[in-house]
Chains A and B, each alone.
Chain A
Amino acid sequence: DAKTTQPNSMESNEEEPVHLPCNHSTISGTDYIHWYRQLPSQGPEYVIHGLTSNVNNRMASLAIAEDRKSSTLILHRATLRDAAVYYCILRDLAGGSEKLVFGKGTKLTVNP
């Protein structure tokens, strides 16, 4: 599986936008970029995924660089409930990848 690199931690203030970066310089053409987050003492939850185009859903936006070697998860207005560890994961869906390979992720702290 291609590897991703994320900062260990980031901090934000409540009500402000948050941009969480992810580098994946060895991404292949069939790798989808997935984001999951894990709130304290809970299981991970799906946030968003994309292949080439930017994606939006009710939780977040995903901006993908034109060369696909990096992406950014955007939380438009951070709330205290968004404090979590965010995981950027590549999934080779052409190969029917069954597993999610979790790194250490980025721990997001949201200040009131």
Chain B
Amino acid sequence: NAGVTQTPKFRILKIGQSMTLQCTQDMNHNYMYWYRQDPGMGLKLIYYSVGAGITDKGEVPNGYNVSRSTTEDFPLRLELAAPSQTSVYFCASSYYSTYEQYFGPGTRLTVT
């Protein structure tokens, strides 16, 4: 199993540009999550999904959108990039909410 994979690894965006961060898991997990981590800080939850077609907001959802059309994929969309969105983004998945979460390697995003 590849586990949780994320693309791209790095990206530089200009203010106002849009992009989609890709996340795929091959463990048949029901739950998927998007977190962001600012320098020197812990992770904060952006959005999560409990299954295909169902998503919900986390702690810091503003400026982001998600969709979950399949069990495997959970893309994160940034519509109008702002410098405050400069961060490292981690995708995670778990079989159920009470189970441990498996994290991807992260996407380092810089908005200038």
Please give the residue numbers on chain A whose beta carbons come within 8 Å of chain B beta carbons, in ascending order.
32, 34, 41-46, 49, 87, 91, 93, 96-105
Q: How far is the CA of A93 from the CA of B94 in the complex (A)?
A: 14
With both chains docked as a complex, state the minimum distance between the C-beta of B5 and any C-beta of chain A, in angstroms: 11
Cβ of B105 < 8 Å from any Cβ of A? yes
- B105 to A99, Cβ gap below 8 A? no
Q: Which label, helix, strand, loop or mixed, suits the secondary structure of the A interface?
A: loop
- Residue tally, chain B, CB below 8 Å to A: 26
Given B45, B58, B100, B106, which contacts A43 in the complex, CB threshold below 8 Å?
Answer: B106
Cβ of B50 < 8 Å from any Cβ of A? yes
**Residue-wise interface mask of B (55-98) relative to A, using a CB-CB cutoff of 8 A (1 in contact, 0 not):** 01011000000000000000000000000000000101000011
The A-B contact count (CB < 8 A) is 54
- B43 to A100, Cβ gap below 8 A? yes
- B105 to A91, Cβ gap below 8 A? no
With a cutoff of 8 Å between Cβ atoms, the chain A residues found around residue B42 in the complex are 87, 101-105
Q: How far is the CA of A76 from the CA of B102 in the complex (A)?
A: 24
With a cutoff of 8 Å between Cβ atoms, the chain B residues found around residue A96 in the complex are 97-98
- A43 to B90, Cβ gap below 8 A? yes
**A45 nearest in chain B by CB position:** B103
